[in-house]
A and B are shown apart, each in its own frame.
Chain A
Amino acid sequence: MPKKIENVGCPYCGVCCDDLVVTVSDDGKKILEVENACAIGNQIFHHATGSERVTRPRLRQPDGTYKEISYDEAIDYAARVLYNAKKPLIYGFGSTNCEGMAAAAKVAEKAGAVLDNCASICHGSSFLAIFDNGYPSCTLGETKNRADVVVYWGANPAHAHPRHMSRYSIFPRGFFTGKGQKSRKIIVVDPRHTDTAQVADIYLQVKQGHDYELFNAFRTALRGHEIPEEVAGIKREKILEVAEIMKKARFGTIFYGMGLCHSDGRNHNVDIAISLTRDLNDYTKWTIMAMRGHYNIAGPGVVWSWQYGFPYCLDLTKDVAHMNPGETSSIDLAMRDEVDAFFNVATDAAAHFPIEAVKHLRKHPWITIDPNICMASEISDLHIPVGIVGVEVPGIVYRMDNVPIQYRKVIDPPEGVISDEELFERIYKRLCELEAEEAAKGKAKTTPVGVHAEE
C-alpha cells in the first residue's frame, strides 16, 4: 500500500508551505504524488526520486571529466583546500536546514573563512535598511487573520511565491477577515502588469527605479503636505487615494521584493518603505515584510546571528567576527579577487552570480555541495552530493517571517548519500586532524611565537 505522509514542508520558496501530502510507494523509494504543492514544489519532490541524481562525490580530472570518488576522499580534499587557503569563501545556504548552517559555520570559523549566504545578492539590502531603521513586521498568520489592506511592492508572488496569496495574504478567510478577499484591498506597485497586479484592486504602474520618489510622495501626502501632480509616473489623485486607503486600514502589511532590493537605491528603497510603515503606525497598524526567497534563507540570518551576532557577510578570518557588506560580501570579494577558494553550498552561484564574479571565483578551487547537477556543479573541481532537505533530510527551516518550521523526511536519500550537517561535521573533524598533524610537525598555522614568554 502506498503510504500518505501529511504535514510535509516544501523546500522551495520562503512561504514554507507545511501542508503538503506526499504519497510514497510501498517500498518507500519512490514519490508517487504530491498534493497541495504548487507546480514548483511538486517538481522538487518528483525530481528527488528521478533518475538523474548524483550519488557519489565527483572530482575533476586533468582531462576535464569527472571521476567518482569516496566521501572520505572528498572530505579530505575539501578540508585541505580550506586548510591551505588564505581566505576561503563559503557561500550559499538558501536551501539547507539550520543544522547544516550551524555545522558549516563551525567549519568556517575553524578555517578562518568568509561565510556568506544568498541574502547578499537578494534581501541583504533589506538587512542594511533594518540595521538603520528597524523592522516593524509581523508573522504571516497576523496578516491572514487581520490584514484588510495588503500591498505588494516590487514583488510578484503569483510567480515567485505561488501560494503566498492563497495561504496568507489575499484569499484566506482569517479570524477577523471572514470575508476573505472581499475583506481586503489589494494594492500592487510594479512597473509591469504582472499576474499579481491582475488580482489587485489597485495597481500602481511605477516607473522602474523611481520607487524612492513614490515612497517620498506617500510619506509627504500622509503628513498632509502638497505633492506634485505626478510622481514616478503615478498621478497625484491616485497617490492621495491610496494614501487614504492605507491610513484607513485596520491592519496593513507591505510585502516587498526584488523591485526594491535590486533597483537603484537598494537599501534606501527598503529604508524609506520601513519609514512609511512607521509613519502609518501613527494612524493605524501597519507592518512590513521582506518576501524572502528560498525556504530557509532566513535560517542563516538567525543561526549566524546566534553564533556570531551577524546575519551575513561574516569575515571570520580573525578571532573576532566582522561584517561589512560591500567589503565582506561575496560578489565584492570575488570582483576584487580577494578570496582564494570557493565553496558553493546549497545554491547555484555559477548560474546566479554575474558572470564577471564567476570568472574571478573560477580561478581558484571551487567546491560545490549540492544534491543536484547545476551550473555550479558543472564548473566545480569537486561536487559533493548531499540529501535534499525536506525530502530526504529533516530539520529546522525559517519561514520569511522568521517562524521556525520543522521539516520532515519523506524518503531515504540515495544509498550512501549524507546530509549537509554530517558532511560539514566530517570536514570539521578532518580540519582538526590536519591542524593536529601540522602542530605535531611543529609549525602550527597561527600560533604566535613567544607571546607567553614574559609570564
Chain B
Amino acid sequence: MALFPKYSKTQEGQNVIMEQRLLKAVNNLILNAETCTGCGICVDACPEEAIALGPVGAARRGAVNNAAPVDVNPEKCSYCGVCVIMCPFNAMTLKIDGEERLPILEREGFPTYDMVTVIDEEKCSRCTTCDEVCPRDAIARDVPAFEGGDEAGRPRQTALQTKTTFTVDTEKCDVCGICGELCPSITVARKPANPETGKIEGDVLWEESTCDACKICVEACPQEAITVEREVISDKLPGKVEIEQENCCTCTWCVHTCPQEAITVEKLFEGEIEINPEKCPGGCSTCVEVCPCNALYLPAPVPAKEMKGEIEPNIAINKDFCILCGACVNACPSEDAIILRRTAIRMKDKETDLFKRIKEKLLTPRTSKVKEATPGEVEVKVLETAEEA
C-alpha cells in the first residue's frame, strides 16, 4: 500500500478539514460548517463530484452532532478550489501548503461572481436599519456609539456639528448660581463675599464642547439674563457604513429597507422560485430555518372575522429577498413544494468551458423528492422538461 498521497478528514471546532498530503506538499480544503447553508451550489460546481449534500435541516438546526450540511470526500477532491469560488456564502477555503491560495484564479482559469455591493456614502444617514435586517452579518457599521444605544457612548451633542452661542446679560445677571448648579457646561465664578461692597459679584463661564443647547439655563434663570442660540452646520452622523462583500449573499434586505435608498446590490442569480403551499405538509418549517436570506416565512393567521373563507397557506416566500441558492429545496422533506429555476449567473471574467458545464448544471430546474436512492445523501428531483421553457 502506498503511503502517499495520504487523505484525511478531521473536525476542528466548526471547521471540517479535508487533507491531501504528499511527501512535502499539503492541500487542504476547509469547510466552515457554521457558515455553510446547505445550498448545494458546491455540489453542482464540483468538477470531481466529490461533494454530497448531508442532513441540511438537521445540521443547520444543530440537531445532529458532527454533521455539516455538505460532505466532501477528501480522496475524490482535486483541491481545485472551484467550490471556494462558487460558494456564495464564503464557507469554503483552500489552503496550499498552509497558505490560502486559489491557483485557478491566479491563472485566470475560472470566472468569479460579479458582486455589486455599494452603499452611497452621501445618501447614507448612518441609521441602524441595514445592520439590523442583514441575515448574514455583512454590514460593517463603523459609527461611534452614542449614549442612547450605549451608556458609555459619546454625548449626543457630539453627533451634530454645530455653532452654539451663549450670552449672559451682565446687567441683569445677579450671579445667583442657579445655571451653574443645573448644567455641567456652566460654572459660576463668584468673588468672595466682601463686606466693603456688601455685594455679590462674579462671572458666568460657559464651555461649548459639552453644551447641547437644551436651554434649561435660559428657562431657569430668574432674571431672564441668558440667551442660547444654536446653528447646525451638519446633522450627518460621523463614521461609515459598508457592506463586507465576502459575507454578503446579495439578498437585498438592506436595499429594500434602506430609508435613504442608498444601497445598490445585484443578486448573484436570476430566475424564479415557485412555492406550492398545498404541497407543504405543515408543521415543519425546515425551509424557514435553513433559508440564509430570511425570505421564507410561515404566514400569520388572520383574525377569524377577517378570514373571508380562506385559511392562510402553510408556507410563503418574499421573492424580493430570495437569492435562488437552493438550500430550501435541499432541506424540504416534501415533494414539489418548492421549485427552483435559475436562468442566469452574474459572473465577471472569461467563461471557461469548465464554467459552462457547471453553469448548465446550476441552471437545471429542481425540486425536492421524498424517496431518494442513496441513504444519507440528499437527492433533488431534476425537472428536465421545464428547462427548455
A182 & B282 in contact (Cβ 8 Å cutoff): yes
Q: Which of B285, B303, B304, B314 contacts A178 (CB 8 A)?
A: B314
Cα–Cα, bound, A175→B283 (Å)? 13
Minimum Cβ distance to chain A for residue B69 (Å): 22
B182 near A: Cβ within 8 Å?
no
A47 near B: Cβ within 8 Å?
no
B301 near A: Cβ within 8 Å?
yes
Tell me which residues across on chain A come within 8 A of B283, comparing CB atoms.
Answer: 171, 173, 179-183
Minimum Cβ distance to chain A for residue B324 (Å): 25
Tell me which residues across on chain A come within 8 A of B304, comparing CB atoms.
Answer: 250
Tell me which residues across on chain A come within 8 A of B303, comparing CB atoms.
Answer: 250
A176 & B311 in contact (Cβ 8 Å cutoff): yes
Minimum Cβ distance to chain A for residue B202 (Å): 49
A250 & B301 in contact (Cβ 8 Å cutoff): yes
Cα–Cα, bound, A176→B284 (Å)? 16
Cα–Cα, bound, A181→B286 (Å)? 13
B314 & A179 in contact (Cβ 8 Å cutoff): yes
A148 & B301 in contact (Cβ 8 Å cutoff): yes
A180 & B282 in contact (Cβ 8 Å cutoff): yes
Tell me which residues across on chain B come within 8 A of A178, comparing CB atoms.
Answer: 282, 311-312, 314
Closest partner residue, chain B, to A174 (CB atom): B282
Interface centre among B281, B283, B284, B312, by most A CB within 10 Å?
B283
B298 near A: Cβ within 8 Å?
yes
Tell me which residues across on chain A come within 8 A of B298, comparing CB atoms.
Answer: 179, 182-183
Given contacts A176-B311, A178-B311, A178-B314, contact A183 B301 (CB under 8 A): yes
Tell me which residues across on chain A come within 8 A of B312, comparing CB atoms.
Answer: 178
Tell me which residues across on chain B come within 8 A of A171, comparing CB atoms.
Answer: 283
Cα–Cα, bound, A426→B208 (Å)? 105
Interface centre among A148, A173, A175, A182, by most B CB within 10 Å?
A182
> Which residues in chain B, 243-272, are within 8 Å of chain A measured between CB atoms?
none
Cα–Cα, bound, A178→B298 (Å)? 11
Tell me which residues across on chain B come within 8 A of A183, comparing CB atoms.
Answer: 282-283, 298, 301
Using C-beta atoms within 8 Å of the partner chain, give the interface range for chain B. Answer: 10 to 19
Cα–Cα, bound, A178→B303 (Å)? 15
Cα–Cα, bound, A179→B312 (Å)? 10
> Which residues in chain A, 197-255, are within 8 Å of chain B measured between CB atoms?
250
Minimum Cβ distance to chain A for residue B312 (Å): 8
Q: Which of A173, A175, A182 contacts B285 (CB 8 A)?
A: A182
Contact with B along A83-102 (1 / 0, CB 8 A): 00000000000000000000
Contact with A along B285-304 (1 / 0, CB 8 A): 10000000000001001011
Minimum Cβ distance to chain B for residue A72 (Å): 57
Q: Which of A148, A175, A182, A250 contacts B284 (CB 8 A)?
A: A182
Minimum Cβ distance to chain A for residue B227 (Å): 46
Minimum Cβ distance to chain B for residue A198 (Å): 14
Interface majority SS (helix, strand, loop, mixed), chain B: loop
Minimum Cβ distance to chain B for residue A36 (Å): 19
Cα–Cα, bound, A88→B196 (Å)? 112
Cα–Cα, bound, A183→B301 (Å)? 8
Cα–Cα, bound, A176→B311 (Å)? 7
> Which residues in chain B, 110-127, are within 8 Å of chain A measured between CB atoms?
none
B311 & A179 in contact (Cβ 8 Å cutoff): no
Minimum Cβ distance to chain A for residue B344 (Å): 34
Interface centre among A171, A181, A183, by most B CB within 10 Å?
A183
Cα–Cα, bound, A148→B283 (Å)? 13
Contact with B along A161-193 (1 / 0, CB 8 A): 000000000010101101111110000000000
Tell me which residues across on chain A come within 8 A of B285, comparing CB atoms.
Answer: 179, 182
Cα–Cα, bound, A181→B298 (Å)? 12
Tell me which residues across on chain B come within 8 A of A176, comparing CB atoms.
Answer: 301, 311
Cα–Cα, bound, A179→B314 (Å)? 6
Cα–Cα, bound, A181→B285 (Å)? 10
Tell me which residues across on chain A come within 8 A of B301, comparing CB atoms.
Answer: 148, 176, 183, 250
Cα–Cα, bound, A175→B307 (Å)? 13
Minimum Cβ distance to chain A for residue B313 (Å): 8
Minimum Cβ distance to chain B for residue A186 (Å): 13
Tell me which residues across on chain B come within 8 A of A148, comparing CB atoms.
Answer: 301
Minimum Cβ distance to chain B for residue A100 (Å): 40
B311 & A173 in contact (Cβ 8 Å cutoff): no
Cα–Cα, bound, A176→B281 (Å)? 14
Closest partner residue, chain B, to A175 (CB atom): B311
Cα–Cα, bound, A171→B284 (Å)? 10
Cα–Cα, bound, A171→B303 (Å)? 22
Minimum Cβ distance to chain B for residue A123 (Å): 31
Cα–Cα, bound, A171→B281 (Å)? 12
Cα–Cα, bound, A176→B298 (Å)? 14
Minimum Cβ distance to chain A for residue B11 (Å): 28
Contact with A along B346-371 (1 / 0, CB 8 A): 00000000000000000000000000
Cα–Cα, bound, A182→B298 (Å)? 8
Cα–Cα, bound, A176→B301 (Å)? 9
Interface centre among B285, B301, B312, by most A CB within 10 Å?
B301
Closest partner residue, chain A, to B303 (CB atom): A250
Cα–Cα, bound, A175→B310 (Å)? 11
> Which residues in chain A, 56-104, are within 8 Å of chain B measured between CB atoms?
none
Tell me which residues across on chain A come within 8 A of B311, comparing CB atoms.
Answer: 175-176, 178
Tell me which residues across on chain B come within 8 A of A250, comparing CB atoms.
Answer: 301, 303-304
Closest partner residue, chain B, to A172 (CB atom): B283
Minimum Cβ distance to chain A for residue B287 (Å): 12
Minimum Cβ distance to chain B for residue A185 (Å): 12
> Which residues in chain A, 232-288, are within 8 Å of chain B measured between CB atoms?
250
Cα–Cα, bound, A173→B298 (Å)? 14
> Which residues in chain B, 59-113, are within 8 Å of chain A measured between CB atoms?
none
Closest partner residue, chain B, to A184 (CB atom): B283
Tell me which residues across on chain A come within 8 A of B314, comparing CB atoms.
Answer: 178-179
> Which residues in chain A, 347-383, are within 8 Å of chain B measured between CB atoms?
none
Cα–Cα, bound, A175→B311 (Å)? 9
Closest partner residue, chain A, to B307 (CB atom): A176
Provide 23 A-B residue pairs closer than 8 Å at the C-beta atoms, listed in order of the A residue. A173-B282, A173-B283, A175-B311, A176-B311, A178-B282, A178-B311, A178-B312, A178-B314, A179-B282, A179-B283, A179-B285, A179-B298, A180-B282, A180-B283, A181-B283, A182-B282, A182-B283, A182-B284, A182-B285, A183-B282, A183-B283, A183-B298, A183-B301
Closest 6 CB pairs of A and B: A180-B283, A178-B282, A179-B282, A173-B282, A182-B285, A178-B314
Residues of A within 8 A of B (CB): 148, 171, 173, 175-176, 178-183, 250
Known: A173-B283, A175-B311, A182-B285. 15 other contacts (CB 8 A): A176-B301, A176-B311, A178-B282, A178-B311, A178-B312, A179-B282, A179-B285, A180-B283, A181-B283, A182-B282, A182-B283, A182-B284, A183-B298, A250-B301, A250-B303
